Amino acid sequence: MFGAYQAGVWEVLSNTFMPDLVVGASIGALNGWAIAGGCPPEELRDLWLDVPEAAAYRWRVPRDPWGGMIDAKALESRIRNLHSRFRPRIPIGIVITDLLRLRPILVQNTDISWEHLAASCAVLGVLPQVRLNGRMFSDGGLLGALPLWAAVEMGADRIIAINAMPRMPATVRTAIFALRSLSRHRPPDPVNMEKVVISASTRLGGLRDALFWKRDNADRWLNLGRRDAARLKHSIPSMF
C-alpha cells in the first residue's frame, strides 16, 4: 500500500517535468504502468484512496510454498483492470525476480502483461508467486527496492527516483539481506549519473501497513509524498 506515497510524489513532480521513460519495481510497477499510460496524477491519487479489497483479506493455508497466505483474487482483478485501462505512451520497464536464479529481470513496454505486474508485486511468503513460461517469479523489489540499473539499461542518463521504503521493517530486512547474499546479481551503481532520489522522510509503517489498506494511511502517505517532493522539486528543472 506504500504506492500511495509514490502517487503523492508524482502529483507534485508532474507539474515540473515529464519523464522520457519509467521504471518500476514492486508496487512501483503498478504506478509506473499507469504513469507511462498517461494516467492523470489526480486519478492515480484517487486510485490509492479507494482500495477496499485490500482492507480485509481472506487468509488461507497455502498448498505449496509459492501459494501465498493471502487469497489474492480481488487484487489480481484490480491489476488486470489497471493493465487493460492503460497502454504505454512512453517506454516503461518493470522488474520481476526469477526465484530459481535469484536474479532480477527487466520486462519492457508491450511485453508487459498483467501477470508481469502481479509478479512484480508478489511479496514472497505472503502473496502467490507467479509462474511465467514455466518459471516462478516474485516481487521486483526483492533484491533491490530501487532498480536504477534498469533505468540505465533502458537508456536513461538522468534519473528521478522515488524510494517509498528506505527503512524496511526488521523482519523484512533480515530476510531480504539473506536472499541478496545468495544472489550473484551485483548491479552497477550509477554513482556518476546525475540523479535525484526522493525518499520517505519518515517511516511509513510496518509490514501490516504495507499489506492492508486504510484510507487514513493512504491520505497520510499521499501528503508525505507531496511534502517530500516539494522540498526537492527545485533541483529537478536544472537537470533538463
From residue 187, give the alpha-carbon distance in Å to each of 6, 14, 160, 165, 237: 23, 29, 18, 19, 28
Distance CA 106, CA 124 (A): 18
Identify the band that residue 234 occupies on the pLDDT scale cut at 50, 70 and 90: confident
Residue 120 has pLDDT above 60, yes or no: yes
| 63-97 pLDDT per residue, tens | 887 889 888 899 999 999 999 999 999 999 999 99
Strands 158-163 and 194-199 turn out to be parallel
Q: Identify the residue with better confidence: 87 or 188.
A: 87
Residue 203 to residue 77: CA distance in whole angstroms: 29
- Average confidence (pLDDT) over 199-205: 93
pLDDT-based confidence at residue 210 (cuts at 50, 70, 90): confident
Model confidence band, residue 165 (pLDDT cutoffs 50, 70, 90): confident
Q: Report in angstroms the alpha-carbon separations of 20 from 41, 91, 93, 155, 185.
A: 17, 7, 12, 10, 27
Phi, psi of 95 (to 5 degrees): -110, 130
Q: Which residues of 116-131 are buried (b: 16+ CB within 10 A; e: fewer)?
A: bbbbbbbbbebbbbbe
Q: pTM for this structure?
A: 0.92
216 pLDDT more than 60: yes
Residue 171 has pLDDT above 60, yes or no: no
- Under a CB-based contact definition with an 8 Å cutoff, are residues 129 and 66 in contact? yes
Read off the pLDDT of residues 101-115 as tens digits, 9 standing for 90 and up.
Answer: 999 999 999 999 999
In terms of phi and psi (left: phi > 0; alpha: psi -120 to 50; beta: otherwise), the region of 107 is: beta
Q: How many CA atoms are closer than 13 Å to the CA of 111, on its beta-carbon side?
A: 11
Q: Sign of the CA dihedral 48, 74, 78, 146?
A: positive
What's the chain's length in residues? Answer: 240
What is the DSSP secondary-structure string of 30-54?
A: HHHHHHHTT--HHHHHHHHT--GGG
Q: What is the pLDDT of residue 174?
A: 63
Q: 3-13 and 27-36 are packed helices; what angle lies between their axes, rounded to 10 degrees?
A: 30
How high is the pLDDT of residue 56?
83
